């Protein structure tokens, strides 16, 4: 422990004994270091935050979903720092001053790409930052340059999102218009061919439907008519049954006699038929014989005659209407069956013509469907382009405008100045210690004993005259003045840095 303490004392004595070496080296290192620090240009950073609103009911109605808008924003954010956009920034700011060759532009674009950052803080919140470091500009101009770069990036972000994919939309619409023109020409040729074919074979005129479609529609209509005809015939049979049980006339004053019995017997016969009894049933045969006998008696009976039955007349009208309905359905069914038979016969007699008619109809239908679908897609795309142009589906809001840098973010000049001072003092102390090690001197008696292995009897202290002591005090004053001057230069540099920052603010 004592040896370590002695070594430390020896080192301190050696450095202090050669303090002028320390001061000289410190001055040299500090001046050189501070000069280097002074040449390092300040870097100023400007930041801005933008919010992108993606909710838009009108865009949703025409098929521009939130997912599409998010992809557009992501695409623009990823391509915002592309070489083309960075070249726009350079040419629209002072960065482009003095750039005359493509090589200079490429170098400037590369440097600017490292200085610009576009970060996504949330799904719809983005931060744009730019750092300006240019030793040819003043600090205030460099700070303003960082702000201008961020503002230009915001303008490009807005332009790209407002435009969206409209640049490609025009070419897509042009392509679809060309396709529509080709489809329309092919459709007109197919329609002309179909019209010429129908003029040659009017019996196979198809109109807007194919032969098979017409035949299937006719068969379906025949099945419907059969169902309606069965219902109409059933209704006619029901009204006939009611007519059979309803007398045509009513008795004038009395219901007795042969006429009354005849009317009652006819009513009973109608009731039996309504229950489903056939003419061969014994009760029906007996009642018919009774009615035949009563008719002769009623014809010879002298008395008041009957009056017309209103119910019977009403049933007769209903019967006539239902008979007309049945006849109309039968006529329509016969016409459809005749049409089916004619077309079928034509197909059997001319199979090649029928096949040609089918092919023409199929080709026309395919072309018509393709044309209609392409026209619908084209209208939707045109509407989408108009919405994106006139009513942007992406709302861009600048939350934090580009900030004006108040102080440089790099370098930390006060810290660097202080670091150079420490390095200079350390270099001076190290130089003084190295010089002491190169010379054969001993600062303590213990060190002398260890060096020669002999006991040291004593040490003679230095005794100075008055002139020597005055000279030493004078040299110390010079040393302290030199040290104070070094510290003063350091303070002046710090003050200059603070004043320079205040001028930028």
**493 and 436 both lie in a single domain:** yes
Give residue 429's pLDDT band: very low, low, confident or very high (50, 70, 90). Answer: very high
What are the DSSP calls for 161-198, one per residue? HHHTTHHHHHHHHHHHHHHHHHHHHHHHHHHHHHHHHH
Q: What is the DSSP string of 453-495?
A: SS-----PPP---HHHHHHHHHHHHHHHHHHHHHHHHHHHHHH
65, part of any domain: yes
- Same domain for 294 and 322, yes or no, is no
**Last-in-domain residue among 291, 308, 325:** 308
Q: 318 and 226 in one domain?
A: yes
405 occurs within a structural domain: no
Q: What is the pLDDT of residue 236?
A: 84
Range of the domain at 227: 169-246+312-387
Cα 472 to Cα 457: distance, rounded to the nearest angstrom: 29
Of 199-213, 332-346, 349-363, 411-425, the range with the lowest mean pLDDT is: 199-213
- Token representation of residue 448: 């002398």
Q: Are residues 213 and 322 in the same domain?
A: yes
From the list 440, 476, 443, the residue with the least C-alpha distance to 459 is 443
**SS3 for 132?**
strand
Residue 74: give its domain's CATH number.
3.30.70.1130
Q: What's the average model confidence in pLDDT over 67-83?
A: 70
pLDDT confidence bin for 502, thresholds 50/70/90: confident
Confidence band for 499, pLDDT divided at 50, 70 and 90? confident
Last residue of a domain, one of 372, 400, 428: 400
* Residue whose tokens read 């069914």: 333
Total domains present in the chain: 4
On the 0-12 / 13-18 / 19+ scale of CB atoms within 10 A, 294 is buried
Is residue 25 in some structural domain?
yes
Q: Are residues 457 and 437 in the same domain?
A: yes
In a domain, 407, yes or no: no
Per-residue confidence band for 207, with pLDDT thresholds at 50, 70 and 90? very low
- Could you report the per-residue pLDDT of 246-294, keeping only the tens digit for each? 777 665 544 455 666 777 777 777 777 767 777 777 777 878 888 877 7
* Tokens representing residue 363 in the block: 């080709």
C-alpha span between 166 and 69 (Å, rounded): 13
The answer to whether residue 199 is domain-embedded is yes
Domain shared by 422 and 498, yes or no: yes
| Same domain membership, residue 474 and residue 338 | no
| 43 SS3 class | strand
User: Does residue 196 share a domain with residue 144?
Assistant: no
| Mean per-residue pLDDT of the chain | 78
* Residue spans of beta strands (DSSP E) within 354-486: 395-400
Distance CA 482, CA 27 (A): 9
Alpha carbon of residue 207 to chain centroid: 44
Which residue among 370, 400, 430 closes a domain?
400
Residue scoring higher pLDDT (81 or 355): 81
Q: Is residue 448 part of a domain?
A: yes
> Comparing C-alpha atoms, which of 77, 125, 149 is closest to residue 397?
125
Residue 443: the pLDDT is 63
CA atoms within 13 A on the CB side of 486: 24
Question: Residue 392 — φ and ψ, nearest 5°?
Answer: -60, 130
Is 95 a domain residue?
yes
Residues 146 and 267 in one domain: no
pLDDT tens digits, 397-414: 888 999 988 888 888 889
Domain presence at residue 406: no
Looking at the structure, tell me whether residues 180 and 205 fall in a common domain: yes
**Same domain? 179 vs 226:** yes
pLDDT-wise least confident of 155-159, 330-334, 414-418: 155-159
Structure tokens at 2: 């004592």
Q: Are residues 379 and 471 in the same domain?
A: no
Q: Who's near 191: CB < 8 A, 6+ residues apart?
A: 364
């Amino acid at each position: 422990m004592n040896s370590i303490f002695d070594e430390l004392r020896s080192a301190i004595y050696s450095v202090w004994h050669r303090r002028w070496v320390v001061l000289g080296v410190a001055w040299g290192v500090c001046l050189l270091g501070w000069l280097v620090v002074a040449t390092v240009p300040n870097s100023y950073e400007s930041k801005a935050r933008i919010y992108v609103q993606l909710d838009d009911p009108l865009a949703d109605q025409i098929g521009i979903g939130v997912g599409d808008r998010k992809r557009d924003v992501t695409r623009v954010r990823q391509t915002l720092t592309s070489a083309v956009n960075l070249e726009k920034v350079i040419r629209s700011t002072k960065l482009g001053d003095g750039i005359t060759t493509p090589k200079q532009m490429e170098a400037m674009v590369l440097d600017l790409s490292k200085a610009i950052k576009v970060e996504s803080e949330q799904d719809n919140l983005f931060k744009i930052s730019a750092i300006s470091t240019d030793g040819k500009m003043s600090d205030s101009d460099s700070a303003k340059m960082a702000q201008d770069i961020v503002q230009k990036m915001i303008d490009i972000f807005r332009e790209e999102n407002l435009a969206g994919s409209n640049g490609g939309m025009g070419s897509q619409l042009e392509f679809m218009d060309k396709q529509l023109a080709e489809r329309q020409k092919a459709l007109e040729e197919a329609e002309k061919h179909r019209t010429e074919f129908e003029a040659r074979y009017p019996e196979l005129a198809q109109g807007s439907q194919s032969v098979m479609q017409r035949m299937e529609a006719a068969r379906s209509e025949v099945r419907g008519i059969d169902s309606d005809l069965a219902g109409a015939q059933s209704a006619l049979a029901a009204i006939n049954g009611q007519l059979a049980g309803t007398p045509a006339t009513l008795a004038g004053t009395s219901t007795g006699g042969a006429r009354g019995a005849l009317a009652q017997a006819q009513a009973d016969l109608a009731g039996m038929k309504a229950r489903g009894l056939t003419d061969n049933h014994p009760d029906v045969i007996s009642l018919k014989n009774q009615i035949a006998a009563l008719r002769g008696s009623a014809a010879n009976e002298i008395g008041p005659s009957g009056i017309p039955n209103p119910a019977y007349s009403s049933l007769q009208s209903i019967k006539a209407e239902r008979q007309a309905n049945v006849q109309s359905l039968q006529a329509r069914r016969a016409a459809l069956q005749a049409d089916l038979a004619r077309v079928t016969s034509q197909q059997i007699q001319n199979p090649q013509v029928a096949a040609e008619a089918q092919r023409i109809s199929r080709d026309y239908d395919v072309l018509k469907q393709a044309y209609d679908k392409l026209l619908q897609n084209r209208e939707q795309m045109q509407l989408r382009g108009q919405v994106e142009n006139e009513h942007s589906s992406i709302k861009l809001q600048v939350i934090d405008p580009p900030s004006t840098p108040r102080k440089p973010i790099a370098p930390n000049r006060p810290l660097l100045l202080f670091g150079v001072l420490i390095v200079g003092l350390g270099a001076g102390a190290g130089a003084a210690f190295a010089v002491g090690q190169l010379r054969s001197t001993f600062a303590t008696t213990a060190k002398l004993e260890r060096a020669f292995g002999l006991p040291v009897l004593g040490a003679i202290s230095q005794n100075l005259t008055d002139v020597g002591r005055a000279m030493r005090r004078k040299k110390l004053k010079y040393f302290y003045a030199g040290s104070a001057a070094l510290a003063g230069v350091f303070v002046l540099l710090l003050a200059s840095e603070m004043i320079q920052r205040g001028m930028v603010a």
